Amino acid sequence: MNKLIRTIMILATLLGGAKAYLDHQLHLELDRAIIDNQIIAEYSQISSSLLGQVIVNNMQINQYISIYIDKIILSKAYQFYNKLPESISVNLEGVKIPINKTVQPIPIIISTLGYAPYYIGLKELYNLGYTNISADISLDAQLQKTKLSFVSIINADIFGKFIISIELNRTSKSFDTIELVSFQLKYLDNGLINKVFSYLARRNNKTFQQLQQEFITKLNNDIRQQNITNNIQQFIKNPKGLTINLQPDFPMNINTLKTLPIQKFKLQITASN
């Protein structure tokens, strides 16, 4: 029994030493990546787990905006040592992005299209009590030789839940040649829509119902697709969930998509009951 206990203690010591060495190397690699990519960031700790995860704690990024991430978990990190793996799983826990409370002008395209009465800026969101964006984010990617697929779930608390799915064709290693096959966005409301419409109604000196109806009428006149506007109308009146499916007539690369009119896309919008 004593020999068994000593053996276990020796193994535990060896494993602990190996893990400490690996964590030190991870620390050096992450610091080097931050410097090489000229990222303004700091963190408190990086470590590995016996399950093959790499965990970064208390990451603060101050590049263009300030982003705080309580924990970053990269699953099966050992796959990255030889080549880009076929699957990637990343979780970001406790993401916080402060909302800029500076008054900003309405985007020109919003005003040009006539949607200024229905636009709410960051300063107004801040005054409504939305002082920061808090979220937990997961990203799962499948990287095959000719196809790429991504699924991201963003649970943004008071801002609602977003599920984003993207399918791409990879014809070469160049980013510009990657082709969009399909894009889907699912949104589950958590009270934001009604709160925003109530605020906009007060700002425009209208009732809640008047503003809703004016917005629906504006969409009907602009889109003129009954199957789309009916679902948007249903969502606005009873905001639970909305799914947007966007698909080009055939897979198209990024440069082509930039100049493609919306009529060249198959657009489907569905509201949840």
Same domain flag for 135 and 54: no
AA letter at 109: I
Q: Are residues 145 and 264 in the same domain?
A: yes
The dihedral through the CA atoms of 254, 119, 156, 213 has a sign that is negative
Of 54, 77, 100, which marks where a domain is finished?
Answer: 77
Q: Are 69 and 91 in contact (CB under 8 A)?
A: no
Residues 105 and 42 in one domain: no
Same domain flag for 164 and 64 = no
Sign of CA dihedral 91, 94, 100, 106: positive
Considering only CA atoms, which of 201, 219, 218 is closest in space to residue 210?
201
Q: Which amino acid is at 149?
A: S
Q: Are residues 202 and 265 in the same domain?
A: yes
Could you tell me if 153 and 23 lie in one domain?
no
> Is the domain of 94 the same as that of 125?
yes
C-beta separation of 30 from 74 below 8 A: no
Q: Say whether both 66 and 100 belong to one domain.
A: no
At residue 19, the pLDDT reads 54
Domain coverage including residue 188: 78-271
Spell out, as residue ranges, where the chain has pLDDT lower than 70: 1-28, 30-31, 33-34, 50-51, 77-85, 171-176, 257-264
Say if residue 68 is in the same domain as residue 85.
no
Taking the C-alpha atoms of residue 100 and residue 122, their distance in angstroms, rounded to an integer, is 6
Q: Tell me: do 244 and 114 sit in the same domain.
A: yes
If you ran DSSP here, which 8-state letter would residue 106 be given?
P
Instruction: Quote the pLDDT of residue 160.
Output: 93
Quote the pLDDT of residue 24: 58
pTM of the model: 0.80
Of 62, 77, 92, at which residue does a domain stop? 77
Q: What is the pLDDT of residue 6?
A: 46
Q: How much is the pLDDT for 8?
A: 41
Using the 3D structure, point to which of 77, 106, 141 is the last residue of a domain.
Answer: 77
Alpha carbons 256 and 46: distance in angstroms, whole number: 41
* pLDDT at residue number 46: 80
Query: How far apart are alpha carbons 72 and 100 in whole angstroms?
Result: 24
* SS3 call for 21: helix
> Quick one: pLDDT at residue 179?
83
Q: How many domains does the chain have?
A: 2
Same domain? For 247 and 205 the reply is: yes
Both 151 and 255 in one domain: the answer is yes
Residue-averaged pLDDT of the chain: 80
